[in-house]
């Protein structure tokens, strides 16, 4: 119920941003049109956002024949978690990273980069896949996938409002510029608020699914160390998708550090280490 509430709250916030920008573009009629478009986009995102993100990353589906180790690992962990077997994808990128997507556990997918499969040990990769399945188990993959696709749409509409807004309103160019800057920032704040707590919960859930908190802690440290020096080009082009990853894939500083969608890795690792101590 809590995650359904979060999803509904997020969709309402996105609609409010669409309506605000619609009002800037075309007054009351613009607000109504934005409401219709925003509602339609939310419905479309519910059914198709996972496919869009996987296509964006050129993810290739694999099975027990084409990727036996990865597929078998996910199969075992899904069984541990009491989940239906998700679809498994591989992304041909050097940066080590992974994410889960889908609208519910029955329509879920997990994706891993070729980089993460190279740099992590079997045990560490198992911890990462358990983390992603925890996202599926907690039913928060819909929130992250919709937020990734809709935040990009918010930015595009904000830019349109900046250049073409004001027909039925007294909005001046400064107000339109402010809107173009603040609306995407507002979408980022929504993502940030939802995402940080989810990562801690998925770390804990992944540790329980795998039975090995230490492996996930080691994996997080290794992924972050490698990710700092290896760009993930699709994430750089579509930064709204960065919050879906297990570790932030972006290299920018400034506001990206201030409005980070991932908790600090040191804190995540400390919590996992503590779980390991409690289990002994």
Cα 136 off chain centre by? 12
Burial 112-135 (b: 16+ CB within 10 A, else e): bbebbbebbeeebbbbbbbbbbbb
Q: Are 67 and 87 in contact (CB under 8 A)?
A: no
Give Cβ neighbours of residue 114 (< 8 Å, ≥ 6 apart): 90, 91, 92, 93, 94
State the catalytic residue, choosing from 93, 124, 132, 224: 132
Instruction: Kindly report each contact of residues 260-267 with a partner whose C-beta sits within 8 Å and lies 24 or more positions away, as own/partner.
Output: 260/192, 260/196, 261/188, 261/191, 261/192, 261/195, 261/196, 262/195, 262/196, 262/199, 263/196, 263/199, 263/200, 265/220, 265/221, 265/224
DSSP secondary structure string for all residues of 147-178: HHHHHHHHHHHHHHHHHH--TTS---HHHHHH
Binding site as annotated, residues for Zn(2+): 131, 135, 199
Say if residues 101 and 141 touch (Cβ distance below 8 Å): yes
Tokens of 255: 């506001």
Binding-site entries: 131, 135, 199
Active-site residue flag, 132? yes
Alpha helices in 109-243 (DSSP H): 114-119, 122-137, 141-164, 173-210, 213-227, 233-237
Token digits of residue 218: 């080691």
Query: Which residues are catalytic, by number?
Result: 132
């Amino acid at each position: 119920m809590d995650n359904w509430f979060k999803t509904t709250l997020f969709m309402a916030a996105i609609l409010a941003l669409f309506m605000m920008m619609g009002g800037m573009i075309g007054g009351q009629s613009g607000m109504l049109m934005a409401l219709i478009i925003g509602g339609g986009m939310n419905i479309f995102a519910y059914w198709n956002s996972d496919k869009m993100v996987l296509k964006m990353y050129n993810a290739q589906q694999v099975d027990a024949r084409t990727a036996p180790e990865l597929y078998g690992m996910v199969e075992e962990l899904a069984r541990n978690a009491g989940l239906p077997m998700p679809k498994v994808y591989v992304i041909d990128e050097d940066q080590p990273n992974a994410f889960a997507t889908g609208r519910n556990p029955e329509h879920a997918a997990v994706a891993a980069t070729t980089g993460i499969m190279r740099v992590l040990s079997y045990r560490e990769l198992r911890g990462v896949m358990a983390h992603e399945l925890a996202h599926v188990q907690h039913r928060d993959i819909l929130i992250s996938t919709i937020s990734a696709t809709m935040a990009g749409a918010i930015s595009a509409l904000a830019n349109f409002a900046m250049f073409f807004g004001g027909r039925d309103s007294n909005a001046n160019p400064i107000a339109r510029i402010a809107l173009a800057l603040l609306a995407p920032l507002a979408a980022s704040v929504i993502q940030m608020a939802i995402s940080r707590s989810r990562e801690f919960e998925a770390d804990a859930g992944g540790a329980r699914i795998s039975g090995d908190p230490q492996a996930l802690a080691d994996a997080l440290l290794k992924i972050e160390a490698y990710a700092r020096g290896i760009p993930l080009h699709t994430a750089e082009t579509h930064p709204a998708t960065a919050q879906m990853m297990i570790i932030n894939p972006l290299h920018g500083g400034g506001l990206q550090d201030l409005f980070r969608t991932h908790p600090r890795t040191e804190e995540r690792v400390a919590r996992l280490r503590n779980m390991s101590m409690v289990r002994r």
